[in-house]
Structures are given as structure tokens and as C-alpha cells.
A and B are shown apart, each in its own frame.
Chain A
Amino acid sequence: MAEIKVAREPLFHIVKRPNIPVWKKLLYYAIAIVAALIISAVFCAISSDVGDFGDFFKYLFEGVIGTEMRIWLFFREGMLLLGVALALLPAFKMKFWNLGANGQVVISCLVSYAVMFYFGKEGGSSNATVIVIMIVASISASILWAVIPAIFKAFFNTNETLFTLMMNYIAEGLVLLMIKVWAPSGSGSLDPIPDFGLIDIGNVYLLTITVVAIISVFSYFYLNKSKHGYELSVVGESVNTAKYAGMNVKKIVIRTMVLSGAICGIIGLLLTGNINHSVHSTMHGNMGFTAIIATWLAQFNPLTTIGTCFLITFISRGMNFVKIKFHFYDTSIVNVVIGFTYFFIIACSFFISYKLIFKKKEKKAMPTDFMVDGSQAETVAEKPATKTKSNKKGVKNND
């Protein structure tokens, strides 16, 4: 039955916006990011006795593009984060919340190091043999790490967020355990094994950049052009629809997580086999979580994800340089600025999708207005002419 409430009109209504052109959206986002950076700059300038407002921007850019090495590092780090984000995308599109990328990356690092240690350093195999075994073993380990929660999800409907998170701790714990085996001096840190590992192409950065670029192209076609990509988005939309359409949901869930794990495995392989030649429990650099934010901000669009990953990397690398130049001796300041940026972007995306309609002053004199229970956005969506918003209030049957 209809329930009629007599109430005061609220200060504002939240109303869905009609679609706005892409350039406008981009402009709004750009303004949001600049605003976040301005606030950060003021914050940093006040907190530091060495740097001022202008220095903030100078160092922010210098830290990213100041030298050739920094530019390469920016691209390599951006690509690594993108790689992890691309691993998460198919799972997220399927609404399988894979929070285990950290663990999947680090287990691959661990296995890569194990292969370099036992086959290379101890076993005396050639580097070619080590490379082949390392690629197969590390990617398999990562797939295993991703597929265990997937199997439980598919067959027992366990909660994948908790399961994948738990797998992170197990992977990091295993690394700590193995470091004890490999570094019996007890210092808790390993010696790198520089003589074994993937071969650099051109310079030490290009292999990673190339591999992730290939993964990106593959992911784009896989998600948008392939049957697999279509199937996993159907499962994401509605498991029942997928079932009625004759899809094997269990198979799709497991298959997608195999892919997700494999990409994380490649990232881990690059991290240990090419970049560090070593392993520690936080070698994932928390990319597994950062990538979640990157993909969400990009609304699971692979192309936009490239933008968000590089934006986050830009701020992170730039802020690390600002941190040094401003004599902040704590990484928290970097996170504060990244946090500001997220906040502004999220707020901006809210205002791109919705708008606030404030009540008009003259309406104050009309306390007998009826308040609507339920969605107001729908009401207005039917009446895009929002100038006539005073008409939207009325009685609504909410049964």
C-alpha cells in the first residue's frame, strides 16, 4: 500500500546526470587531480621547512622525468602495476574478487628464486635451463595460488575475498620460512643471485615493459573480442543467465582465475628473475591492492586502467622524490597524497554520474510538500528537464 509521509523537503536531492561527453569527463578528472595535488602541495609546503609550494610541483615532475633512469623506472613500475591490474581485470569482470594478487606475485617470486638457487647456484645448470624451468615453475605456482580459491568458489561457493586474502599471508609466510633455509646466517635477508635469470633486452627495463605491453594487447582482445571474454562478463552480470545460456560457470570461474594467476606469475617472474634476482616477503610492493584501486577507478575498462595505473605510479614516484627533497623521512606522506588523489577522483566520478539539486528558497514556505520514499533519481530521469524539479515531488506507490 502507498504510504504517504508529510515531511520537510531535504536540503538537496541526488539526481542522476545524463551522459556527458568524454572530453568533459576528462576535464573534470583533470581538475580533480590538480585540486588534489594543490591541496597536497599546501599540506607538504606547510609541513616542510625546506620546500615550498612551487618546489612541490617541480620535484613531483623531476622525480618522474628528471633523468633518463627515472623515466625508465617510471615506465617499468607503471607497467608492473598495469600487469597486476590486468591480472585482476578478468576476475573482477566476472565479479570474482581476487584480493590475492600480492600472494600470487610473491609465490612466483619465491619459486623463481628457488629455481635460480637450486638449479643455478647450487645445481650448476646452465642459465638457459634455469630460465625454462623458472618460467614454467613460477607461473604454475602462481596459477595454483589463484586456482585453489577458484575451485573452492566454484564447487563449494566459499567466499573468495577471504580465501584469496588468506593465500597472501600463506605466500608471504612461505617466503619468510624459505629465507631461513636459504640464509642460515639468520640475518633474514638473501643474497641476490645475479648470474642467473631472464636475459635483458636492450637495457634492464625493456624486458618488463615489452612483456607487459604484450599482456595488455592480449588482455584487450581476450576481454573484448573473444568468446571467453564474453562468457566471463556474462557470469559477472548474472550467474543464472550464464547457466540458462548453457555456460559451464564452474569452468569459466576456474579458467579465468588460471589466467589471473598466470599473469601475476609473469609479474613475479619478472620481479625476481629479471629485476631483483632475490626475494623478500613484500616484493609484491603491495601492487595487488594498489591494482584493485586502479581497476575500480577505471571502472574495469582495460584502456582506462592504463591511465589509472600510470597516474598512481606517477604520483607515487614523484612523491617519493618530493619526500626526499622536502626531508620527510617517512613513506606515509606519499600515501597521504595518493589518498588525497583517490578521494578527489572518487568524488569527481560521483559528481560526473550524479548531481545535487538544492531546494529552492521559496519552497521553504511550503511545508505541506510530500516526500517521496524510494528512488528519486528514477523520477527525474524520466523528466530530464530538471528546471521543473519542483514537480517531481508527489505520491508514489512503493509496493
Chain B
Amino acid sequence: MKKLLTLLVAAIMAVACCFGLVGCGGEDDTPVVALITLHGRSSTYDKNFIEAFETACANKGLNKKQYAIVSDIEEDASCYNAAKDLVDQGYKGIFADSFGHEAYMIQAATEFTDVQFYHATGTSALSVNKANFHNAFASIYEGRYLAGYAAGLKLLTMTDKAVDNNFQLGYVGAHPYAEVISGYTSWYLGVVAALNEYNAENSTAYTATMEVTYTGTWYGETQEKTAAETLIGNGAVLISQHADSMGAPTACENANVPNVAYNGTTGKNSLVAYSKINWVPYFEKMIDQVQGGAAVETDWTGTIATDSVQWALGAGAAAGTQAKVDAVQAELIAGTRKVFDVSTFTVKASAIQSVIDDPLSFTPMSAFTLDGETVGHITSLTVSGQEVIKTAGTIRYFDESVVRSAPYFQMIIEGITII
């Protein structure tokens, strides 16, 4: 036994010495920025932030000792504790990626006024109005629309799957929340736009309807997979999702159903297209600010122009899709096409009424008028006191992510059914 002990201790010492000699570099290790994420890399949502953060830090010449990524932080006091700990370590800018982190980030921002706090998807920066607290999002509805357009082109190559010339789509959503609703509506409108443009030049007129199901969690592999399987079972011929795991893409791959992803590529053969928010530009602004550069806006919305909204095609895309979607993107940038063109969709009066009646909603919509009885096009709508139905040239459109960065389109339009 004694011999064994001696041997063990000797081995430990030897190994410790070897490692002790390594890693005596002279790198600058002043902490600069840190990222707090809800989950780790296994979540596509958080992975998108983590990878962008690493890229931005590398672009700005920060080494790994100058930035930190704190993963798996729940939406509770542990977010405040993580932020406080990072402040103690000397980080000057702290970013949190999950909606529920906001209250705790504001708590930290109130306490540590010399540190900048940034929060994605949040809604409160404008109302709390602190110099060191910022919200950010992107006009991802444009990316969704373009991915939807690619999906529409894919559907036109699988017309045998249409029932009475109608394609049934499926969508796996996380929560019945504006961010999700805005996401699937813009996606659906993209699909419909592609079909309508085909119909205008052809004798057969194709339509699309969509079933949406909510999993009740932002990340739930099993629930998302089951939800996708249910939608496929209901007759969906193409699936998209706003949920953070690989659940739905896996179900699609297994059932040989094309899939449109969010937050990044799934790497699967069934992938038609994906859209994602590219956080690199924002992270670079943030690093600039804490290193003495220009202050970041209190509420910032990235766009296609700032390279914050990205999309790409997958292995399952139809031939010739790239050029067509590029053309549509050019129109969006030029402003000659709008995602939420109010002439392209109709809403039930009750769908808007339910949004207004909801007194606890933090984005009450009011003062709408419909140019129809129960179903019609929106002609006027105010969000937080601001008119959001605007005119650009001849187009009347719902102006998303302008009153604040986080989406606020939360009406269920005709053609979409919640199951």
C-alpha cells in the first residue's frame, strides 16, 4: 500500500511539473467583454450567439483571456450572480442572450453603472432608459421571408404533394410569443409570395396553408421532434420551426420531408434554406464601445444592410433558387417589396381584438380599423402609441421592429391555423 501511495504521489508531482512549465505567455489578459447564454452549444439558438461572439472577439483582436462565455445560466437570480461575478472579474461589457435574463441584467445595470449591459430580444431598454443598458435584435423577419420564398420554390418542384393545389405546411413554434408569431408569419408570407408569383405566370394556381403548434419551451428536443411528427402526420409537406433544438430537423430527415431552419444550418439533406441573425456586427459595436468607441444605441435593430440578417440554401433547395431569392432580397433592400405588405394578407377582426383585449400584454395594439366585416386587410394599427401601418411608394405595410427592436407583430393571419 505504501509503495502504491508513494508511486501515486510521485506520478502526480511529475505530471504537475510538466504542466506547470507550460503556458507562461506574456499575452494581455485584461478582461473586456463577456457573454451569458441560457444553454450551451447544443442549442442552435445559443450556438449562434457563442460562435458570433468568438468571431467578433477574434475580429477585434481579443485573445481568449480577454473574453468569457458563461453558458447554461437560468433565467433567475443566477443571471444576476453571473453578471456580478463578471463585473468583479473586470469585464466592461456584458451581453445576455435570453429574454428572461432581462430583469436580472437591468438589476445589475442599476448597480454597476460603469459597466455596459447588453441584452438580446428584450423589450425594456427604452422604458428603463439607462445609459448602460441596451436592447438589440434584428429584422430577422426579412431573413424568414427569404427562407420562405426558397421554400415556396421548393414546393413548386413537388406539386404531386399538393392536395387540390394546396400545399399544407407545418411550423413548430416555441411559445405563442410575438417573436415567434412574427417569425412564422413572415416565413409563411415568403412561401405565399413565391407561389403567387408562379401563379401569375401559369394556369395552375397553388395556395398554401400552415398549421402551427407550440411546444411551450424554447428548447425541448423531444417535444419539438414529436410536434414535427404530428404536423407531418397531419399532412404537412414542408416543415419549419422556431425552436432551439435539432428535434424538428431530425423528424423531417427521418420522414424525408423538406425543412427550413432558423439560427443556422442543420447540415441535413432535407434542409431547403435557413435564416439566422448574425450577431457579429453588434458584438463588434459593443467591443468598440467598451474600448472607448462610440456608444451603442439604447435599442438597436440590425438589418440585411448591416449584415445582421443572413440566409443560405441547404442541400434540399430547388435548382435556380439562389438567383431568384437574391432578386427578392435586392427588392427588400431597395424598399420596393415589403414583408408585411398589408395587401398580401388578411386578418380576422377577432384576431386583432384578442390582442387588444389582452391587458397584460406589454405591447398593446389598439385603434385598428378593418376595411371589411370580419376578415380584412389592416389599414391602421398603433403599437405603444405609434402608427405602424406605413406607406412606401404604393405599398402599405406593417413596420416591424421599428418602435422597438424586439418584434411586435402578433396577429394570427388567415391561412395559418394554431393546433
CA distance A49 to B27 in the complex (A): 14
A interface secondary structure, majority: loop
Whether the Cβ atoms of A50 and B64 lie closer than 8 Å is: yes
CA distance A70 to B174 in the complex (A): 34
Answer whether A31 and B8 are a contact pair too, CB < 8 Å, given A52-B23, A280-B75. yes
Per-residue contact bits, chain B 216-236, to A (CB 8 Å; 1 contact, 0 not): 111000000000000000000
Q: Is A184 an interface residue (CB 8 A)?
A: yes
Answer whether A45 and B19 are a contact pair too, CB < 8 Å, given A50-B64, A176-B217. yes
Q: Is B385 an interface residue (CB 8 A)?
A: no
CA distance A185 to B410 in the complex (A): 10
Residues of B within 8 A of A194 (CB): 107
CA distance A282 to B363 in the complex (A): 28
Whether the Cβ atoms of B69 and A38 lie closer than 8 Å is: no
Number of interface residues of A (CB under 8 A): 44
Residue of A nearest to B180 (CB): A186
| Contact pick for B72, options A176, A180, A185, A331, CB 8 Å | A331
CA distance A329 to B97 in the complex (A): 14
Residues of A within 8 A of B75 (CB): 189, 278, 280
Per-residue contact bits, chain A 14-58, to B (CB 8 Å; 1 contact, 0 not): 000000000000000001001100100010010001101111000
Q: Is B84 an interface residue (CB 8 A)?
A: yes
User: Could you list 27 A-B pairs, sorted by A, with CB under 8 Å?
Assistant: A35-B8, A52-B19, A53-B16, A54-B16, A67-B88, A69-B84, A186-B176, A188-B175, A188-B216, A192-B103, A275-B77, A276-B76, A278-B77, A280-B75, A280-B100, A282-B74, A285-B74, A323-B71, A324-B68, A324-B70, A325-B68, A327-B64, A329-B37, A329-B50, A330-B41, A330-B71, A331-B71
Residues of B within 8 A of A280 (CB): 74-76, 100
CA distance A89 to B40 in the complex (A): 33
A188-B175, A331-B40 are known; give 19 further A-B pairs, CB within 8 A. A52-B22, A52-B23, A53-B15, A53-B20, A55-B23, A69-B84, A73-B81, A185-B360, A185-B363, A187-B179, A188-B100, A189-B98, A192-B104, A275-B77, A276-B76, A280-B76, A329-B41, A329-B71, A331-B72
Whether the Cβ atoms of B68 and A330 lie closer than 8 Å is: no
Residues of B within 8 A of A42 (CB): 15
Residue of B nearest to A331 (CB): B72
Q: Is B358 an interface residue (CB 8 A)?
A: yes
Per-residue contact bits, chain A 318-349, to B (CB 8 Å; 1 contact, 0 not): 00000111010111100000000000000000
Whether the Cβ atoms of B40 and A330 lie closer than 8 Å is: yes
CA distance A323 to B50 in the complex (A): 14
Residues of B within 8 A of A185 (CB): 177-178, 360-363
Whether the Cβ atoms of A38 and B12 lie closer than 8 Å is: yes
